[in-house]
Structure 1
């Protein structure tokens, strides 16, 4: 049986890129469900990809403060 050698660096990059795409889609769905003025972003760290959704406008901050728009939209990311 032949030995298989994996390129660890490339495998890690591929897994992070896949995770990045997944969390980006989830964050985009949450931002869309929360309403206008919400923005999503993704960062790839040393060990994982992280996404966040922020209130980018005054109206979005007001919607979050009064109606918890982001909190209510969290299920859209599932």
Structure 2
């Protein structure tokens, strides 16, 4: 039996570009309106708008709040 190798097989595998996704930022800064507000009202509003926020993913940050998105959907909403 004669065997003819396929020389283009490895070329086709290497020519397909790999898809690279840009990672989303881990934390988002949410600022209070007019520079006033409190942490409790901000956390209640954010959980109502973007859904549940896991414990530890919400932190006070100066005159705002740091929010860590739990998935890509929450990150896009923020």
Which category describes the TM-score, using the shorter chain as reference length?
Answer: 0.3 to 0.5
TM-score, normalisation: structure 2: 0.33
Q: Which has more radius of gyration? A: 2
- Structure whose residues are more often helix by fraction: 1
TM-score (norm 1): 0.33
